[in-house]
Structure 1
Amino acid sequence: MTEIQIDDAALQSMQSLLGEQFKDTLEFCCSEFERLANEVIATIGNDKEAAIRHAHSLKSNAAQFGATSLSEVAREVELNLNQDNVEKAVNASTDLLAQVSGSQAQLRAWLEAN
C-alpha cells in the first residue's frame, strides 16, 4: 500500500477560504472520497467512461483537500483508463479504499488538532 500523505498547506488554504464552513465541507469530502472510490471500483471493468469520470472527480477533490497520496492513486487509475490500459488501472484501483480510509483518518486528526 502507498503511504498516506496529507498536504498541510492545502488544508490550511481551504480552511482559510471556507472559514466556518470548512469542517462540514471536509466531512462531506471525506464521505465523497469513499463514494467516488466505490464508484470507480464498481465501474472500472464495465463502464470505462464512468470510471474515468469518478477517478477524475476523486483525484481533484482529494488534491483540493490535501489528500495527496489518494489523489495520486486516482490519477494513476484515470491515466491508465484514458490510455486503454484497463489492467494497470485495475491494479492501481486496489489501493483506493485503503487510501480513502487512511486519508479520512488523517484529515479528521488534522481537523481535531487545528
Structure 2
Amino acid sequence: MNTIVIDESALESMESLLGEQFSDTLTFCCTEFERLGSEVLTTIHSDIQVASRHAHSLKSNAAQFGASSLSQVAREIEQSLNNNDVSQALEAAQQLDSQVAGSKAKLTDWLKKR
C-alpha cells in the first residue's frame, strides 16, 4: 500500500473537538507518528511485544487523526506480531517510513489550507 490515504472527516471531527488546540495537537501527533514508527522498526527484531505495543499506539493515533493508510499498515504489523508472523510484520514494516512521511506531509498540507 504505497498510496497515502487521509480521512478528512476524521480530521474535521478532531478539529471540532479540540478547537484552538487542534493545530498544536496535530503537529505533536505527526511527531509521534515518526517516533512510534521508528520504535516499531527498532524493536521488531528484538522484542515482538514492545514492537506490537508501538504498532498499536501508532495505529490508534493515526486513525484518530485521519491517517488511514498509516493506521492500516500499523494494524497489519500489530496483528502479524500478535500472531507470531514476524515475516508478515517485516513485510508490512517496509512501508512504514514512506507511510509516516507521506501522512505527515498530507496532514501538514491540509492544516496549512485551513
TM-score (norm 1): 0.99
Structure 2 unaligned spans of 5+: none
Equivalence for 1:4: 4
Shift of residue 63, structure 1, vs aligned partner:
0.1
> 1:17-56 residue pairs with structure 2 within 5 A?
17-56=17-56
Which residue of structure 2 aligns with residue 94 of structure 1? 94
Residue identity in the other structure for 1:62:
A
SS at match of 2:18: helix
Question: Letter of the aligned partner of 2:67 in structure 1?
Answer: A
CA RMSD of aligned residues (A): 0.6
Unaligned runs of 5+ residues in structure 1 are none
Structure 1 residue ranges (4+ consecutive) displaced by more than 6 angstroms after TM superposition: none
Shift in Å at residue 90 of structure 1? Answer: 0.6
Rounded to whole Å, the distance in 2 between the matches of 1:55 and 1:94 is: 13
Q: Report what 1:81 is aligned to.
A: 81
Deviation readout 1:62-82 (Å, 9 max, x if unpaired): 000000000000000000000
What does residue range 98-109 of structure 1 map to in structure 2 within 5 Å?
98-109=98-109
Deviation at 1:2, TM superposition (A): 1.8
Matched positions, count: 114
* 2:57 alignment counterpart: 57
